[in-house]
Amino acid sequence: MPLPAAPPFPDMPPLADLHLAAGRQGAPYQNRDDLLFVSFRHSVSAAALFTRSSLAAWPVRLSRRHLKESGGRARALLVNAGNANALSGAKGRESAERIARACADKADCPLNEIFLASTGRIGKALDAEPVLKALEAFPKDAPSLSWERAARAIMTTDRFPKGAFRQTFIKDAPARLCGIAKGAGMIAPDMATTLAFLFTDAALSASIAGRLLLEAAEESFNALSVDGDSSTNDTLMLFATGEGRSAAMSDLTDFRQSLREILDSLARQIARDGEGATKMMIVRVSGAKSAVSARRVARAVAESLLVKAALYGGDPNWGRVAAAMGKTGEPLREESLRIRIGGAALFDGEPLAISDAAAAALRRHMEGDEIRIEAHLGTGEAEAVFRGCDLTPDYLRINSGGD
Amino acid sequence: MPLPAAPPFPDMPPLADLHLAAGRQGAPYQNRDDLLFVSFRHSVSAAALFTRSSLAAWPVRLSRRHLKESGGRARALLVNAGNANALSGAKGRESAERIARACADKADCPLNEIFLASTGRIGKALDAEPVLKALEAFPKDAPSLSWERAARAIMTTDRFPKGAFRQTFIKDAPARLCGIAKGAGMIAPDMATTLAFLFTDAALSASIAGRLLLEAAEESFNALSVDGDSSTNDTLMLFATGEGRSAAMSDLTDFRQSLREILDSLARQIARDGEGATKMMIVRVSGAKSAVSARRVARAVAESLLVKAALYGGDPNWGRVAAAMGKTGEPLREESLRIRIGGAALFDGEPLAISDAAAAALRRHMEGDEIRIEAHLGTGEAEAVFRGCDLTPDYLRINSGGD
């Protein structure tokens, strides 16, 4: 039983000075774009968070270098779907470099203002030729595509395109924030990677953009796990196209909130589209000794195979939740521990009896597609939230299919 | 397709001064023992490794205290299957304490020479009454049971009893080592826990027994994962019944080797009986900067959902192996990395082409039930081995069944 129908793509207005083009470079998808080219009319501020994998893909290694060399300036971003260009040896590096040079020619800018992102199969060098051809074929004066079309061009086995928009303010000046993402965790047969790209027409320095991105990601993308496997290609970028003096941190309260909301929305869409997932789970841990400890405990629950399997079976199995928390070795005491699922109190220093009415409500909650697990550790004041999804026969079907 | 038939239980001779009794205390198993009582004619040396869970079960907490208070002396061990007595509140503690007192009466020994272990459902206090009744009913002069009968009495959903035996020597004197275990990772619906109990007729001080146990476990039980969920009840104990002066570490070379072999054999039997598993995997990582780093990398591969799913599908997906290694953040370089599966070289700084003959051999290897994954990191000299198993629809079926 898959999740209800895909959510509708949100209304998202165009952004000034930003151009979206899409094309096909030959990934084995039927009749759809697999290449996105985002270009800016002028050099803009850029910030990025890349995968922490020690085997990062060539586009990540190249983009990381460019970000450093350019001091956070960007003129174009190219994303291809279908091939991650990861673990692809010298040939993969060569492809990435050739493609980046072609993008710099197209955008007429320094090489280090080009950023690349790839998603798809690991272990095969990306063939540069079809990418270069598609890039060349983009008509110079075509109108910018819609955000939905852009979001579709970066999908691999995603069931739906993912986007989010917020109208916000910096002091009294309006600012727009647009985001697109692809996700679905690790995807069949090797389609790895979470990619997300955020764009604003605000004026932000690269260093402020970097601080905002890190802060917002901690509470959303870095608190999300479909299957615990982070990829060789994960990339999250923020581009700020506004010219003139950067807004100061002190003026960015609303903006930061909107950025958090956008990332939160994208993270939820990704969790909802987790491979074969039928249910999301939101794990809230409070009363912990520290935020790090709360996060470790919440993450252990969200990633526990046994909790994921229980969720799939609609079983409010608090014993597995507790076992997953315990295995972290974090400071916990049975005597002060409280666990609720779907609002129903199930453990409070000891197993609780549950009324018929509460049991019926809990059953209904477990039949839903968003399961809330709350634990209060009673050892401190810190808290954290982590999101996950259930583990289903479909996940296995998708991921055991071989090549 | 489950694994081939269960391995035959090994021939295991009785040990002097050790008595095995089994009975029924009412776990919901059809017509079989669910209680094991091991008693020693005199006080013997004991060493133990307990779960690192911060929510350890009451029998673990009690045994940990007894081990400390008695300075590593034991007269009896009681194991019950069907109820873990974990997260069971004040009632669970009371049960454990009552049962321990009854064991001390039965064995006529100080309370702190009694050890308890429980396995089964989490979150329900163990009912002491049927355990006390069964204990009382053990006839005083019944002959000691066989090791196989003992191993069967501690099973939950294990498909077969697990035992291992080695005849070894300390200097020129013969010494016997017997071990039994239960495993199958976390088991349906909440049957947690790996338990293993080793017995030798050698004379060992408690502190030497502790050192030997820790050393042997690092290479076997602590390098094994069925599903990454360590339980509230995991317990590994070594009892040495020999009287007189303890053997010195320097005389224990053969003995240590035998102990490693016994634990290794039990760990393999547990991995082979992993829930719903059809294949074992043995991950060998070499050329790492440190043993800790090698172990982290090997463990990440053995526990990766994507690798486990690929194995189930018979897919020699080295890209997922690399992605799992990379996500650890350990020092790795694509350029110096080598990966082999089933002996076939698949990556050496770049993806390798593979001959038809090698591809055919690899396919045959992937159809077997023991998959060998080797990675050489090329960044140092250290190595580690970690064992795991595949992830199958049966695992999900077993673990999503609710109560």
Share of chain B above pLDDT 70, in %: 92
In this structure, are B256 and B346 located in the same domain? no
Q: Determine, yes or no, domain membership for B5.
A: no
| Nearest CB to A396; choose among B186, B192, B393 | B393
Is B305–A227 a contact, with Cβ atoms under 8 angstroms apart? yes
Per-residue pLDDT of B5-45, as tens digits, reads 678 899 999 999 999 999 998 777 678 899 999 999 999 99
**Chain B residues close to A121, C-beta within 8 Å:** 319
**In this structure, what token pair is assigned to residue B183?**
């495993």
Contacts of B292 (CB under 8 A, 6+ apart): none
Write out the DSSP string of A349-403.
SSBPP--HHHHHHHHHHHHSSEEEEEEE-SS-SEEEEEEEE---HHHHHHHSS--
In this structure, are B256 and B384 located in the same domain? no
Q: Determine, yes or no, domain membership for B2.
A: no
**Strand locations in B17-156, DSSP E?**
18-23, 35-50, 73-83, 114-121
Mutate to test the interface with B, among A52, A87, A91, A121 (most CBs of B within 10 A): A87
In this structure, are B261 and B286 located in the same domain? no
Q: Which residue of B has its CA nearest to A335?
A: B89
Q: Which of A51, A168, A193, A200 is labelled catalytic?
A: A193
Q: Determine, yes or no, domain membership for B6.
A: no
- How far, in Å, CA of A191 to CA of A205, rounded? 34
In this structure, are B126 and B228 located in the same domain? yes
> Alpha helices, DSSP H only, in B11-78?
58-70
Instruction: Count Cβ neighbours within 10 Å for each residue of A65-95 and write b for 16 or more, e otherwise.
Output: ebbeebebbbbbbbbbbbbbbbbbbebbbeb
In this structure, are A336 and A235 located in the same domain? no
Is A189–B317 a contact, with Cβ atoms under 8 angstroms apart? yes
- How far, in Å, CA of B322 to CA of A124, rounded? 13
Residue A258 lies in domain: 18-272
Q: Do the Cβ atoms of A214 and A49 come closer than 8 Å?
A: yes
In this structure, are B188 and B44 located in the same domain? yes
Is pLDDT at B185 greater than 60 in this prediction?
A: no
| Nearest CB to A54; choose among B52, B314, B326 | B326
- How far, in Å, CA of A111 to CA of A140, rounded? 20
**Chain A residues close to B86, C-beta within 8 Å:** 319, 322-323
Is A319–B55 a contact, with Cβ atoms under 8 angstroms apart? no
Q: Determine, yes or no, domain membership for A12.
A: no
Mutate to test the interface with B, among A91, A225, A229, A293 (most CBs of B within 10 A): A229
In this structure, are A65 and A143 located in the same domain? yes
Confidence of residue A383 (pLDDT cuts 50, 70, 90): very high
Q: Determine, yes or no, domain membership for B8.
A: no
Q: Determine, yes or no, domain membership for B4.
A: no
Alpha-carbon distance A163 to nearest alpha carbon in chain B (angstroms): 27
In this structure, are A242 and A361 located in the same domain? no
The CATH code of the domain that includes B170 is: 3.60.70.12
Q: Report the pLDDT value the prediction gives residue B218, as an integer from 0 to 100.
A: 78
**Chain B residues close to A90, C-beta within 8 Å:** 349-350
- pTM as predicted: 0.78
Is pLDDT at A59 greater than 90 in this prediction?
A: yes
The H-or-E segment that residue B323 falls in is helix B318-326
Is pLDDT at A339 greater than 80 in this prediction?
A: yes
- How far, in Å, CA of B387 to CA of B77, rounded? 29
Is pLDDT at B276 greater than 80 in this prediction?
A: no
Q: Which residue of A has its CA nearest to B366?
A: A402
- Looking at residue A178, its amino acid is C
Average pLDDT over residues B260-287: 85
Contacts of B209 (CB under 8 A, 6+ apart): B45, B46, B47, B72, B238, B239, B240
In this structure, are B261 and B312 located in the same domain? no
Cα pseudo-dihedral A141, A142, A145, A151, rounded to 10: -90
* Secondary structure (3-state) at A171: coil
Mutate to test the interface with A, among B226, B396, B398, B403 (most CBs of A within 10 A): B396
* Secondary structure (3-state) at B96: helix
Share of chain B above pLDDT 90, in %: 65
Short-list A87, A95, A102, A104, CA closest to A128: A95
**Chain B residues close to A52, C-beta within 8 Å:** 327, 329
Per the model's pLDDT, the better-predicted residue between B225 and A83 turns out to be A83
Which sequence positions of B are flagged as catalytic? 193
φ/ψ (deg, to 5) at A139 = -65, 140
Among A254, A272, A290, the domain-final residue is A272
What's chain B's average pLDDT? Answer: 89
Q: Do the Cβ atoms of A398 and A377 come closer than 8 Å?
A: no
In this structure, are B329 and B386 located in the same domain? yes
**In this structure, what token pair is assigned to residue B203?**
């004379």
**Of the candidate ranges A27-31, A222-226, B186-190, the one whose mean pLDDT is the lowest:** B186-190
Q: Determine, yes or no, domain membership for A33.
A: yes
Is A232–B305 a contact, with Cβ atoms under 8 angstroms apart? no
**In this structure, what token pair is assigned to residue A225?**
């796990």
- How far, in Å, CA of B127 to CA of B85, rounded? 9
Q: Report the pLDDT value the prediction gives residue B187, as an integer from 0 to 100.
A: 32
In this structure, are A56 and A174 located in the same domain? yes
Is pLDDT at B398 greater than 80 in this prediction?
A: no
Q: Determine, yes or no, domain membership for A193.
A: yes
The H-or-E segment that residue A80 falls in is strand A73-83
- How far, in Å, CA of B365 to CA of A139, rounded? 51
Is A87–B322 a contact, with Cβ atoms under 8 angstroms apart? yes
Among B272, B293, B324, the domain-final residue is B272
In this structure, are A260 and A285 located in the same domain? no
**In this structure, what token pair is assigned to residue B53?**
């869970």
Q: Report the pLDDT value the prediction gives residue B224, as an integer from 0 to 100.
A: 62
**Of the candidate ranges A2-16, A231-245, A278-292, B212-226, the one whose mean pLDDT is the lowest:** B212-226
Is pLDDT at A189 greater than 70 in this prediction?
A: no
Among A240, A272, A304, the domain-final residue is A272
Domain count, chain B: 2
Q: Say whether the peptide bond before residue A161 is cis (omega within 30 degrees of 0).
A: no
- How far, in Å, CA of B243 to CA of B5, rounded? 40
Confidence of residue B211 (pLDDT cuts 50, 70, 90): very high
